[in-house]
Amino acid sequence: MIFGGILGHSGLPLPLVEGCIGLSVVIMSLAVAAGVNLPTIAAMALVSLFAIFHGHAHGSESAELSSFLPYAAGFVIATTVLHFPGSVSD
């Protein structure tokens, strides 16, 4: 997300951002519902690809801000907090 956020904040266009974000929700939801168990490297690659688009959307929203760093820190911390419960095992 950080890389995508920097791209978006810099104004570098990335095609189909909204569509890829929507697609990520569908694909990841179906994968969880179906119990898909990808190899770690494949799962990391898929999540990283989708994270670029999510980060780009956040970075594009911050283009008019005077300081990108506090905004970026906020969305990185929020992402970490949202992902933490899923990483904790019984």
- DSSP string across 33-63: HHT----HHHHHHHHHHHHHHHHHHHHHHTT
Residue-wise pLDDT tens digits, 29-56: 999 999 999 999 999 999 999 999 999 9
Residue-wise pLDDT tens digits, 58-75: 899 887 777 888 888 998
The two three-digit tokens of residue 5, written as one number: 């956020």
Q: Which residues contact 21 (CB under 8 A, 6 or more apart)?
A: 50, 53, 54, 57
The pLDDT of residue 86 is above 80: no
Three-state DSSP at 64 gives coil
- Angle at the Cα of 1 (from 34 to 81), degrees rounded to 5? 70
Say if residues 20 and 53 touch (Cβ distance below 8 Å): yes
The pLDDT of residue 88 is above 90: no
User: pTM of whole model > 0.95?
Assistant: no
The pLDDT of residue 90 is above 60: no
Residue-wise pLDDT tens digits, 3-35: 999 999 999 999 999 999 999 999 999 999 999
